Amino acid sequence: MIIPYQAAQVSFQRKQRIGENGENSEVYVVHDEHLNAELVIKQVKTDGFNEERYLLEAQLLYKSTHPYVVQVLYACKDAQHIYMAMPCYRKGSLHQVAEAQGLTCRQLIRYSMHFLSGLNNIHSKGLLHFDIKPDNILISDSDEALLSDFGFAKIMDEDGFATPEATYRYHLPPESAHTRDFNNSADIYQVGLTLYRLLAGLDSLENQRRAFGNGAELAGALRRETYPDLSQLPRHIPKKLKSIIKKCLKFDPNTRYQSVIDLLNGLSSIEDLGLDWRFSTVGSIQRWESISSDGTTLLVEVSDNGQCTARKKTAGGAFRRKANLCDANPTPERIHEILMSSDW
């Protein structure tokens, strides 16, 4: 027997808007007055009639409980909105972390192992995410990457396919040109774009698309697998990691990784060499810096005239030139060799 009752109201004060807002949603940091805690609230505008459709995201998140999937604390509604409460992570999203300080390959691999474990979990439960991007990967207070935002998620049919209502346009897989039914390879393609953007630049896809005069040119580049342009990845990216990203981004879904487990196995096989470089540009100079746990710093700089200078210093010491790793006019391949060298 179900006994109806008047539910108590939640009470929270908005503090700040965060993240990229969706077409019908906004995300806020709030202070929940009953819990006396800071939370994140996703506010989704509804039409006042189809609340079940809009509550589906909260239900999917709740059913997808996993250490690397963001937890839903509660959900509620009023006449015009659905509200989903989630933990407030002060480090924000992977987008924000990369934008603030960039990521070393070691950090990227570590974070990827986290959120991909969450993605594998939701695939095992018959769900496709359809909105994997740096903004939808949150960094917990314990510095772990959690998959979030199931607003586009769908349940697979018996053949492993689902049809999303929408997805982020820069992360559409190439097969979207001729079908609206996707399997897990669509999520894997979005993982590849996410890793690419975190290494090549968060705006790299948008910038490259401006070079195409029309949709036919973009479609041709997708078929030739020249978009996204893997040559724009910085020189310190290990060849194995580059090949993993390339496989995620294959035009033919059947030639991508066929499961998240296969992708995780590929990432775990990357050799522990040259993973701590942090790339930046200072004026016209390309600069790579690596700082180890004992304070040893490696520095490689390539000037606009092509001169490559390699230097090293120990904690508290001064930089010393590494003559064997300096080069007057190195090729891109030689720069990669210097960065991957064990002769430091």
Q: Over the chain, what is the mean pLDDT?
A: 91
CB of 300 within 8 A of CB of 310?
yes
Question: Do 54 and 203 fall into the same domain?
Answer: no
Please report, for the domain that includes residue 74, its CATH number.
3.30.200.20
221 in any annotated domain: yes
**CA-closest candidate to residue 310, choices 324, 326, 295:** 326
Reported as a single tens digit per residue, the pLDDT across 13-47 is 888 887 655 556 788 899 998 889 999 998 888 86
Question: Do 81 and 98 fall into the same domain?
Answer: no
4 in any annotated domain: no
**120 has a pLDDT exceeding 90:** yes
Q: Indicate the pLDDT class of residue 8, thresholds 50, 70 and 90.
A: low
What mean pLDDT do residues 308-333 have?
96
CB of 89 within 8 A of CB of 175?
no
Tell me how many degrees the CA angle 145-146-147 measures, rounded to the nearest 5. Answer: 125
Q: Which of 129-133, 144-148, 155-159, 162-166 has the lowest mean pLDDT?
A: 162-166
Strand pairing category for 308-313 and 297-302: antiparallel
**55 has a pLDDT exceeding 90:** no
- DSSP annotation string for 105-131: HHHHHHHHHHHHHHHHHHHHTTEE---
What mean pLDDT do residues 285-302 have?
96
Helix ranges (DSSP H) in 162-270:
184-200, 204-209, 215-224, 239-248, 260-268
pLDDT value, residue 94: 96
2 in any annotated domain: no
25 in any annotated domain: yes
Number of domains present in the structure of the chain: 3
Question: Do 80 and 98 fall into the same domain?
Answer: no
**142 has a pLDDT exceeding 90:** yes
Q: Indicate the pLDDT class of residue 344, thresholds 50, 70 and 90.
A: very high
Please report, for the domain that includes residue 155, its CATH number.
1.10.510.10
pLDDT value, residue 80: 83
pLDDT value, residue 3: 53
Question: Do 244 and 169 fall into the same domain?
Answer: yes
Reported as a single tens digit per residue, the pLDDT across 214-244 is 889 999 999 999 999 999 999 999 999 999 9
pLDDT value, residue 52: 73
What mean pLDDT do residues 77-103 have?
90
If one compares 328 and 9, the residue with the highest pLDDT of the two is: 328
Question: Do 117 and 236 fall into the same domain?
Answer: yes
Question: Do 158 and 250 fall into the same domain?
Answer: yes
- Count the neighbouring beta carbons within 10 Å of the beta carbon of residue 89: 18
* C-alpha–C-alpha distance, residues 70 and 139, integer Å: 10
For residue 282, what are the contacts with CB-CB under 8 A and spacing of at least 6? none
273 in any annotated domain: no
Question: Do 53 and 111 fall into the same domain?
Answer: no
5 in any annotated domain: no
58, 87, 116 - which closes a domain? 87
- Count the neighbouring beta carbons within 10 Å of the beta carbon of residue 3: 4
Q: The pTM is what? A: 0.89
DSSP 235: T
Q: Which domain covers residue 292, as residue numbers?
A: 278-340
pLDDT value, residue 176: 95
43, 59, 87 - which closes a domain? 87
Task: Name all contacts of 305-309 with Cβ < 8 Å and 24+ positions apart.
Answer: 306/330, 308/334, 308/335, 308/338
pLDDT value, residue 20: 56
Question: Do 113 and 248 fall into the same domain?
Answer: yes
230, 250, 268 - which closes a domain? 268
**CA-closest candidate to residue 187, choices 168, 209, 215:** 168
pLDDT value, residue 57: 73
pLDDT value, residue 27: 87
pLDDT value, residue 196: 98
Reported as a single tens digit per residue, the pLDDT across 183-207 is 999 999 999 999 999 999 999 999 9
pLDDT value, residue 22: 57
Q: Indicate the pLDDT class of residue 129, thresholds 50, 70 and 90.
A: very high
* C-alpha–C-alpha distance, residues 82 and 48, integer Å: 10
| pLDDT over 70, % of the chain | 94
Three-state SS across 3-65? Answer: CCCCCCCCCEEEEEECCCCCCCEEEEEEEECCCCEEEEEEEEECCCCCHHHHHHHHHHHHHCC
**CA-closest candidate to residue 89, choices 137, 140, 43:** 140
Question: Do 106 and 59 fall into the same domain?
Answer: no
* C-alpha–C-alpha distance, residues 267 and 108, integer Å: 10
Question: Do 73 and 219 fall into the same domain?
Answer: no
Beta bridge partners of 320: 312
Question: Do 247 and 149 fall into the same domain?
Answer: yes
CB of 134 within 8 A of CB of 202?
yes
For residue 121, what are the contacts with CB-CB under 8 A and spacing of at least 6? 64, 66, 68, 69
pLDDT value, residue 190: 98
**Residue bearing tokens 């790793």:** 325
Question: Do 174 and 204 fall into the same domain?
Answer: yes
